[in-house]
Amino acid sequence: MKNIAVIGVGYVGLVTGVCFADLGNRVVCVDINEEKIEGLKKGIMPIYEPGLEELVARNVRAGRLSFTTSYAEGLKEAEFVFIAVGTPEGVDGEADLQYVRMAARSIAELMDHPMIIVNKSTVPVGTGDWVADIVREYRNSDVEFAVVSNPEFLREGSAISDFMYPDRVVLGSLNREAAEKVAQLYLPLRAPIMITDLRTAEMIKYASNAFLATRISFINEIANICEALGADVKEVATGMGYDKRIGHAFLDAGVGYGGSCFPKDVKALAYMAEIKGRHPQLLRAVMEINNYQRRAVVRKLEEALGTLRGKTIGLLGLAFKPNTDDMREAPSVHIANMLFAAGAKVRGYDPVAMRNARRVAPQIELADDAYSLAAGCDAIVVVTEWNEFKQLDLERIRDLMNRPVLIDGRNIYDPATMRELGFYYRGMGRGYEDSGAERR
Ligand code: UDX
């Protein structure tokens, strides 16, 4: 059993804290947000994540997990301090490090015994060295410390199993011994553990996310070409994926990536390259294609309805992906804004993200379920591929709509079946019809 403090109870911090507690360590989670901490003490989760609430409750009951707003209390016995605070996007795509700076300074000011500071927040390459500088500047004594970078690869919606069954654990430090101590914490997971230097570990995170985003933009570009040539991108991706060198994951064409990581990390990596005089052409193309996917949906609606002025469009799904209530960089918001600009009325429904949607996009009129959303709509766009949308009574949906126009931004329906049901149906990259092109 080790004593661990985790600073920041967002997705990464909370999941990291509770999972380390579940592995038998004593974990104190620290956050300056009193509302979040008070809620957690009462068992109220600040985020929606399957399995999280039960795991938190179990470990609190077992006395291994606690929450506090006090750094002093959190750090008192900690041998390891994980920094997992937010690194939002700043100006120009540069990551905003104010919360990391605050955390590093607070740790330094209270440090009265040796500590290993482990950085989990996604931070620009070089931040680990900068954190070490801050700690050296603000610590009161010469007490020993080391900084280790330990990037997270958790996906929202499956964050707990991603933590417990990682493909790999990456640790970077100039202090090998410290990195090896952190490695011990991960040994029960029986995953490959890679130890490298600080900057390389930080870069692995950016390169991984940028590569995954590139796969998505790649398949979206292929989808657009499929529309022009009469091929079906879903089949194309399946056929490609059988090649072991390619694989099936992250080849779903659609409205493009969103969320708190990919958009921010691709931009930040491009920014880091540019300020060093490099030309990240591929990363720029990845971002451009992603933006284009949102516009493509609006273009498909215009093809179906003519002008969008005065039309009512229903967005089926608002979260940036299923199994989360996260609306950060959600394609639904970008699409809604373009629709508003074109003079349309926008309605929306999501199984869990309605509360966040109300906050982030108050102009979207919310419906109680998919059927009340459909009533009176001139078109529906599937923006998030929630499972519950795959089994809708589509005849009922069709009959409730002003016009049976459905743009399937996630390719969850079968085009032939939808047309048989009498829908004007357009997917993303599923043959000639999707681009409005004539078959020749
Ligand atoms: C991602 C990374 O997967 C994770 O390793 C990292 O640490 C944080 O960022 P997350 O943002 O939770 O996790 O979502 P993810 O499941 O990776 O999906 C990202 C976006 O890509 C979503 O908007 C999703 O809809 C989109 N996507 C994903 C596609 O459009 N097509 C695909 O084939 C896969």
Site residues for ligand 1, CB cut-off 6 Å: 152-156, 209, 212, 216, 250-252, 254, 257-259, 261-262, 320-321
Whether the model pTM is above 0.85? yes
Instruction: Please list the ranges in the chain whose pLDDT falls under 50.
Output: none
Closest-lying ligand 1 atom to the alpha carbon of residue 154: 7
Q: What CATH number did the domain enclosing 181 receive? A: 3.40.50.720
Verify that 122 and 262 share a domain, yes or no: no
Q: Ligand 1 atom closest to Cα of 329?
A: 23
Q: Are residues 145 and 284 in the same domain?
A: no
Q: Write the residue with the smallest CA distance to atom 15 of ligand 1.
A: 155
Pocket test for ligand 1, best of 212, 329, 335 (most atoms within 8 A of CB): 212
In a domain, 342, yes or no: yes
Clarify whether 377 is annotated catalytic: no
Residue 387 falls inside a structural domain: yes
Do 213 and 192 lie in one domain? The reply is no
Q: What is the pLDDT of residue 438?
A: 59
Minimal-distance CA residue to ligand 1 atom 5: 153
Determine the distance separating the centroid of ligand 1 and the alpha carbon of 64, expressed in angstroms.
31
- Residue 297: its pLDDT value, please? 98
Residues 338, 225, single domain; the answer is: yes
Q: Which of 29, 226, 261, 377 is catalytic?
A: 261
Statement to judge: residues 240 and 167 lie in one domain: no
Structural domains counted in the chain: 2
Helix axes of 262-275 and 198-229: crossing angle, nearest 10 degrees? 110
Ligand 1 centroid to Cα of residue 109, in Å, is: 37
User: What tens digit of pLDDT does each residue of 266-309 get?
Assistant: 999 999 999 999 999 999 999 999 999 999 999 999 999 999 99
d(CA 246, ligand 1 centre) in Å: 17
Atom of ligand 1 at shortest range from CA of 251:
33
Task: Kindly state whether residues 221 and 192 are assigned to the same domain.
Answer: no
pLDDT of the residue at 435? 82
Query: How far, in Å, from the CA of 271 to the mean position of ligand 1?
Result: 21
Q: Both 167 and 101 in a single domain? A: yes
In angstroms, the CA 411 to CA 413 distance is: 6
Task: Tell me which H or E stretch contains 338.
Answer: helix 331-341
Distance CA(409)–CA(207), nearest Å, equals 27
Do 236 and 333 belong to one domain? yes
Q: Choose the residue to mutate in 169, 260, 261, 286 for probing ligand 1, maximizing ligand atoms within 8 Å of C-beta.
A: 261
Q: Looking at the structure, tell me whether residues 257 and 188 fall in a common domain.
A: no
Q: Is residue 346 part of a domain?
A: yes
To which H or E segment does residue 229 belong? helix 198-229
For residue 11, report the distance from its CA to the centre of ligand 1, in Å.
14
Write out pLDDT tens, residues 191-233: 999 999 999 999 999 999 999 999 999 999 999 999 999 999 9
Whole-number Å distance between alpha carbons of 237 and 85: 37
Provide the residue range defining the domain that includes 9. Answer: 3-196
Nearest CA owner, ligand 1 atom 2:
155
Which residue has a Cα nearest atom 13 of ligand 1?
155
Distances from the Cα of 225 to the Cαs of 43, 184, 216, 250, 383, in angstroms?
49, 49, 14, 18, 21
The last residue of one of the domains, among 162, 196, 230, is 196
Residue minimizing CA distance to atom 14 of ligand 1: 155
- Short-list 314, 211, 203, 303, CA closest to 257: 211
pLDDT of residue 48: 86
Sorted by sequence, the CB contacts under 8 Å of residue 145 that are 6+ apart come out as 111, 114, 115, 116, 117, 132, 135, 139
> What per-residue confidence (pLDDT) applies to 140?
85
